[in-house]
């Protein structure tokens, strides 16, 4: 019987996780960039506590969005072995929220390596 592997396709090992907590309009680096490393996001789950737009970015470069969210709107990106997002070397994976006073909470699963 054929099967498939849900591990990261770049053989970078076990996923790390980062809790996301955004409490007002602005940008959260989750996870933060580290000199000489790439971040690859394999899975995430976020819930917006109010109306907001979320933008995912490689440092200052937009990767996706702005995506509109209603109150209690959520996004789930499931693991399939290929990263949903990748940053440039040394850049943070940023989540930008437009909603003043709107909380965005969740978790991101990622790898961070120099290749």
Could you read off the pLDDT of 20-67 as tens digits, one per residue? 999 988 888 778 888 899 999 999 999 999 999 999 999 999 999 899
Q: Which domain holds residue 89?
A: 16-113
Burial 84-103 (b: 16+ CB within 10 A, else e): bbbbeeebbbbbbbbbeebe
Residue 7: is its pLDDT beyond 60? no
State pTM to two decimals.
0.83
Q: Tell whether 76 is covered by a domain.
A: yes
Q: Tell whether 4 is covered by a domain.
A: no
Q: Tell whether 7 is covered by a domain.
A: no
Number of domains in the chain: 1
Backbone dihedral angles phi then psi of residue 68, each to the nearest 5 degrees:
-80, 140
Q: Tell whether 53 is covered by a domain.
A: yes
Q: Which CATH number does the domain housing residue 49 bear?
A: 2.60.120
**What pLDDT is stored for residue 3 in this prediction?**
41
Distance set, CA 79 to CA 46, 50, 83 (Å): 14, 26, 8
**What pLDDT is stored for residue 31 in this prediction?**
81
Q: Tell whether 69 is covered by a domain.
A: yes
């Amino acid at each position: 019987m054929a099967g498939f592997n849900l591990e990261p396709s770049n053989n970078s090992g076990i996923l790390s996780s980062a809790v996301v907590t955004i409490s007002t309009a602005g940008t959260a680096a989750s996870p933060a960039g580290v000199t000489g490393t790439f971040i690859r996001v394999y899975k995430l789950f976020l819930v917006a506590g109010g109306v907001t737009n979320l933008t995912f970015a490689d440092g200052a470069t937009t990767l996706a969005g702005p995506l509109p969210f209603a109150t209690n709107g959520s996004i789930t990106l499931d693991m399939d072995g290929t990263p949903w997002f990748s940053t440039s070397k040394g850049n943070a994976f940023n989540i930008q929220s437009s909603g003043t006073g709107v909380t965005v909470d969740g978790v991101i699963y990622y790898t961070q390596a120099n290749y």
